[in-house]
Structure 1
Amino acid sequence: MTTPAGTAGPGRRLARWARALRGTGGLRLLAAAAGGLTLYAAFAPSTLWWAAIVGIALLGLSVYGVRGRSGYGLALVFGLTFYLPLLNWSGVYVGSLPWVALAVAEALLTGLVGILLAWAARRLPWWPIWAAAAWGAGEALRARFPFGGFPWGSLAFSQPDGPLVPAASLLGSAGLTFVTALAGFSLAVLLRRCWGHRRTLAVRVLVLPLVLLVVAFGLGLAGRLTMVSQADAASYPHRTIAVIQGNVPKPGLDFNARRMAVTDNHAQRTHELAAAVHAGTAPQPDLVIWPENSSDIDPYTNADAAQVISDAVDDIGVPVLIGAVVGTDQPHSYYNMGIVWYPGTGPGETYIKRHPIPFGEYMPWRSFFRIFSDKVDLLTGQFLPGSRVGNFDVAGIPFGDLICFEVVEDGLTRDVVNGGAQVLVVQTNNATFGWTDETYQQQAMSRVRAVEHGRSVLIAATSGVSAVIRPDGSVESKIPLFTPGYLVPSVPLIDRTTPGTVLGAWVEWLVTIATPLALLWLFVAARRRDRVGSRPGKRDADQHRPTDHRTPGDDIQEDASP
């Protein structure tokens, strides 16, 4: 087929556009933007685990060879195209401004990673390793700053369905993030070298990225030796723990406008379970779990709520962990609390959520943020943090309680495992996020936690998705969104400690400081050489000495440049 004179075929036009974009940095911008969207495609409810590796590779291709300032801008673009779609659930009922503000804040912090990536590419050998560590440093920062951090979107949580997830059992979730990033940045170098040497491709230029890719997937394979498999779990004693999903009258911020109805719903499901037990169609549980906000009326001060709960607990005949909003001695201040309610005697041990969510459970800098939106006044009260780790030993079951977003935080999850929890419980209320992907993303986090710590995870949600997750991260059973029901699984009580539990915090700190310290060491060494070189007589001697102007990373840059 021929192209008429004076016109250009599609391939030629595409090549011309590519050259134009390349000259203005447009290709880098496109790669960064596409990388963020591709990374988003890896997160639940998607199961495209490999998209995270491709997304990180596109980020690496965009920032490799640029200066720090450009690296910041490209990583910022990457962050925006990743966090804007990922966090869209945060604005479903409060408008776009809080959602966009949160996404922009996360993207601004991601931009700092771009600086480290660019500097490392120009100065350090074995760049994919330092780049993966730099990404881990960015995640550690976002997990702590601002307002206690928001680690949603960690690379680790994109991998529950992939072959890399066993690395969490070996190195913790921070290690899984590092391994996933290592695979992505190694792929970036592999693609650059293939392109740069496409006419005279030599095996030697592909050795480094291929070896590092093998290492990344090898760590995933090695993690299988440390994770708790279904066969392993079967050898431990089992107990029956019921999970109740009562549902809510309607989704949204006012899910509890009829607050007693939410408590009634969970009590009703518990009565139904008791009837099934009495009829012999369901096993007798040893413990029952209700979700967060299953009693939005303080049962310590409201006799009606207390009676509804007590009737349901007495009917099932075993302790029930309920989720309640409990008042404090401070005006307009509350606790988000888990309370063990016993048959005949009522409330017992408690756990108070340790990290209330800013803008959701308390409003920081209210007067400042009111300048941008009066939506801040939708939150009229505040939740105060607790200080005790959420460990319980009820009916002979040592379990750890995590309330809602606490499951996303490495330290809070590790604390309950170190405290002796043999089962993890996540009490959550997802009704405020409607039919969005938030509940599925949170379930993916729980699956990674199961693998990381070798524990079953029971998710009790007001409106779903409640689930039973095995220690190997697979989902045993679940209840769909906005569907009342109950689950009665037999759960292994596992006291085995994985390397991920022991090493996770150390791996995070090592990854966090590695790239900044390496770059700082090079900077200090260069300054020291400059001072030595400026001494009298030294310059004259150096004039007769051959000089090598290569930096430690030049071998990678020369091999990888197109």
Structure 2
Amino acid sequence: MARGIGRFDPRKRPAENTDIIPAITDDPVTGEIPFNAVTDAVAGEIPLPDVEPDDHDDDVADSEVEPADADAGEPAGDRRDRLAELRGHTARAVTVSWQRLVHLSVLVAIWFAGQLRIRVPQLGRWLRPRLTRLVAAIAAGLLLCSSYPRFNWWWAAVIAFAVLAWVLTRPATTPAGGFGYGLLFGLAFYLPLISWISILVGAVPLAALVLLCAVFPGIFGLAAVVVRRLPGWPIWFAVLWAAQEWLKSTIPFGGFPWGVVAAGQTEGPFLPLVRLGSVPLLSLAIVLTGCSVAALVMEALSWWRTSRHRLADTPPAVMLPALCICLVLFLAAAVWPQVRRSGTGSGNEPTVTAAVVQGNVPRLGLEFNAQRLAVLGNDVRETRQLADDVRAGRAPQPDFVIWPEDASEIDPLLNPDAAQEISVAVEAIKAPILVGTVLDVPGRSREDPAQTNTVIVWNPKSGAGDRHDKRIVQPFGEYLPWRGFFKQLSGLADWAGYIIPVKGTGVVHAAGTPIGVATCWEVIFDRELRDSVRNGAQLLAVPANNANFNQTMSEQQLAFSKLRAVELDRYAVVASNVGISALVTPDGREQVRTNFFTPAYLDNQVRLKTTLTPAARWGPILQGLLLVAAVAILFAAILHNGWFNDLHRRLSELANRGGPAPERSDDDPPGDDVVADGDDGQHSAPHGAEKGDL
């Protein structure tokens, strides 16, 4: 319940405490639940202490009450004069304070302007040779973001990495510059991509998360500059990016895979590749294609700029990048028929009817958490509507029903009212319901609470059955790492829950069907549903709670469900409390979906699948090979660049001279401030860069 605000009393008597209690009544016509705020006093009126009446109460205003230190015998007129004088002194003091603040602000502004006069020319000289690369890095990040929902411009990701590759292969770009350009690319990518987080936590936590995410593309940029002089650099760039995505999906606090390149390809022709090698292979293919396009263009331009008499003797080195592009296209085309057949079915696969209930919540934002019974009531009402339509022949009888995450935030194993509501829905639909709920962990004290985010199979006769406890919990939302530390930084820390992860198989059984469950946050991690399929899941269920965010977030999360459907060759059933709920086929198509923030249900047949795709079998092995390759490539590049020899030479000079080595020698790198964008035309390809350019 929302807290009421007490009225101010000039005599400082205690304010009345009021609570806003939502009054829930069913509309007899529409059946909806309007929410009317009814103010109900929770404390009785507090009487004022008895005070003797003052002789001047009738003719002296409250603002002219005698100060506590006034002489008792002082006339009322003198007291008013003293009060006026006191107010005058106070006003003058406030005016002086404001004047001093203004003067200080003017001085700071003058100092800052002076610094700008000094720094702006230096900044201009620094920006001039780098401006093109800075703009290109920002444009590349924005292009990559546009490949995601809601734009779904899958081709923009290829262009984004072509542009980023051009930036990182400039001879003027040093390793430190590579980190900076990668960081800028990451900021331009993640800020618009996950801006919906600010709806829940505000701008400052959003900025911190965006900066943290951008560090990983920065690391990629640094590593890319290190390996760019190796032959076949587009391949090594792609391997390094795949390793960077794994690192970001692992640390810190379990990782944050949101933003993998593969999630922006659900509407593109490269999507079938996820069936072969999971998310890492699809991301690698997109980066490899973009970098190969950049290599082709740069090599062709460099060859064209070469003098005419050398054109016939030095044909452009386009074989390797062209081969990489053809290989990616060939693999995608080869896998596509299998993916398409999986979506249409082979004809001999068993079918079940799965229903999804989207009950909706009273309003967007955290307020719905205070109306837990109303949220549960909405799901019950929509389930009963489905049951009515089944009896009327307007919908098929479902074998089971999937409710959203947190459909019952009241523990139904401890609260008989919540259990009764769920049982009413189960009896009405005559099928088991997968109920998303929050359970208290037994034996934990109020000072050390713990809960589980659980999906329970609620059967018509026996009640609670199989359960899936969330195995990957969301930091800073479902739980707070380093709680004591972060509570000192922000009051938002108190919003975090006490959900703990629980080991399990990731599979529940409803009406004899093994269902792999990934609750909301879990769907973005490769291992969650892959383990479920390995443990026998024939259908995927993704219950979600998206009421804290907006439709863009729901669209992006749905893209991950499409990835999992194609990757694991399973139908995916997405159940969200506010949308978007959907049934996704194994070829990544939406069989049916709901609108955002509307009560609805879905009721369709889906096919049960038992095959194990190459991604399900060997996905972790491929990921491990890519990590080993990334480390080996970095080590080989350091050897190839002669950095160990340079380090040995500098140490020897230091030991022989007994003092510091000279700041710069003829073999030292020229530095990022020496070479301008326009100075490297003849060395546009990385293999043409001089040794000192690194």
The TM-score, its normalising length taken from structure 1, stands at 0.88
What amino acid is aligned across from residue 326 of structure 2 in structure 1?
A: V
Summarize deviations over 1:190-249 as a string: whole Å, max 9, x none: 222233233357763333222211112222112224435333354411110111101000
Judged with a 3 Å threshold, the aligned counterparts in structure 2 of structure 1 residues 160 and 210 are, in CA distance, closer, same or farther, namely: same
Cα distance between partner residues in 2 of 1:343 and 1:436: 34
Offset of 1:371 from its aligned partner?
4.7
Change in Cα spacing, 1:485 to 1:560, as seen in structure 2 (3 Å) is: farther
Q: What is the CA-CA distance between 1:23 and the residue it aligns to?
A: 5.1
Question: Which of 88, 96, 99 is the matching residue for 2:195?
Answer: 88
Task: Give, as a single letter, the amino acid of the residue that structure 1 aligns with 2:528.
Answer: L
- Residue in 2 that maps onto 1:218: 330
2:564 pairs with 1:457: no
Deviation, 1:80, is: 0.6
Counterparts of 1:51 and 1:527, CA distance in 2: 36
Name the CA shift for 1:72/1:359 in 2 (closer, same or farther; >3 Å).
same
Change (3 A) 1:137 1:344: same
SS at match of 2:537: coil
Match for residue 338 of structure 1? 455
Change (3 A) 1:449 1:484: same
Q: Rate the CA distance shift 1:436–1:239 in 2: closer, same or farther, 3 A.
A: closer
Give the conservation status (yes or no) of the 8 Å contact 2:195–2:206.
yes
Partner of 1:506: helix, strand, or coil? helix
Query: SS state of the match for residue 228, structure 2?
Result: helix
Distance, in Å, in 2 between the alignment partners of 1:234 and 1:98 is 50
Q: 1:281 to 1:76 in 2, by over 3 A?
A: same
Aligned length: 521
Matched, 1:133 2:249: no
User: In structure 2, what is the Cα distance between the partners aligned to 1:47 and 1:528?
Assistant: 45
Name whichever of 210-219 and 481-490 sits farther off: 210-219
Q: Which residue is equivalent to 1:486?
A: 601
Q: Is the 8 A contact 1:289 1:321 kept in 2?
A: yes
CA distance in 2, matches of 1:218, 1:461: 37
Amino acid at match of 2:197: S
* Residue of 2, 24, 32 corresponding to 2:129: 24
1:61 to 166, 177, 197: 166
Is 1:236 aligned with 2:349? yes
| 1:246 matched residue in structure 2 | 359
Q: After the TM superposition, which residues 34-113 of structure 1 pair with which residues of structure 2 at under 5 Å, given as runs?
A: 34-64=139-169, 65=171, 66-113=173-220
Q: Which one of the candidate residues 478, 488, 500 is aligned to 1:361?
A: 478
Q: Does the 8 A contact of 2:228 with 2:687 survive in 1?
A: no
Which shows bigger deviation, 159-168 or 271-280? 271-280
Structure 2 match to 1:352: 469
User: Which sections of structure 1, spanning at least 5 residues, go unmatched?
Assistant: 1-18, 534-553
Distance change in 2, residues 1:487/1:268 (3 Å)? same
Kindly indicate whether structure 1 or structure 2 has the higher relative contact order, using CA contacts under 8 Å at least 6 residues apart.
1
Q: How does 1:511-522 map to 2 (within 5 A)?
A: 511-522=626-637
CA change 1:126–1:556 in 2 (3 A) is: farther
1:192 paired residue number: 298
Which whole-Å deviations, capped at 9, do the CAs of 1:467-516 have from their partners, x for residues lacking one? 00000000010011111111111010011111121121122122222122
Deviation at 1:519, TM superposition (A): 2.4
TM-superposed CA distance for 1:73, in Å, is: 0.9
Q: Say whether 1:415 aligns with 2:531.
A: yes
Q: 1:522 to 1:198 in 2, by over 3 A?
A: closer
Query: Match of 1:550?
Result: none
> What is the rounded CA distance, in whole Å, between the counterparts of 2:133 and 2:624 in structure 1?
31
Whole-angstrom CA distance in 1 between matches of 2:152 and 2:507 = 32
Q: Which structure 2 residues correspond to residues 488-527 of structure 1 after superposition, within 5 A?
A: 488-523=603-638
Contact 2:412 2:419 in 1 (8 A): yes
Letter in 2 for 1:229: S
Quick check: 1:272 aligned with 2:396? no
Task: Give the structure-2-normalised TM-score.
Answer: 0.72
Give the Å deviation of 1:91: 1.4
1:424-454 per-residue CA deviation (whole Å, 9 max, x = no partner) reads 0001000011x34110000011111111111
User: Which of residues 399, 419, 439 in structure 2 aligns to 1:326?
Assistant: 439
Is the CA contact 1:403–1:427 (under 8 Å) kept in the aligned structure 2? yes
Give a deviation string over 1:334-380, Cα, whole Å, max 9, x none: 1100000010221111111011100111111234334543222223x
Q: Which residue of 1 aligns with 2:500?
A: 384
The aligned amino acid for 2:626 is V
Q: Distance in 2 between matches of 1:530 and 1:20?
A: 30
Q: Residue 7 of structure 1 aligns with which residue?
A: none
Decide which moves more: 366-375 or 99-108. Answer: 366-375
2:519 aligns with 403
Is 2:544 the partner of 1:428?
yes
Shift of 1:560: 8.5
Distance 1:44 1:522 in 2: 37
Q: Secondary structure of the residue that 1:437 maps to in structure 2? A: helix
Root-mean-square deviation (CA, aligned residues, Å) is: 2.4
Match of 1:308 in 2: 421
Q: For 2:289 and 2:137, locate their aligned partners in 1 and report how far apart those are by CA, in whole Å.
A: 17
Q: Which residue in the other structure is 2:686 paired with? A: 557
Q: Which runs of 5+ in 2 are unaligned?
A: 1-123, 650-682
Q: Contact 2:302–2:684 at 8 Å: present in 1 too? A: no
Give the conservation status (yes or no) of the 8 Å contact 2:379–2:403. Answer: yes
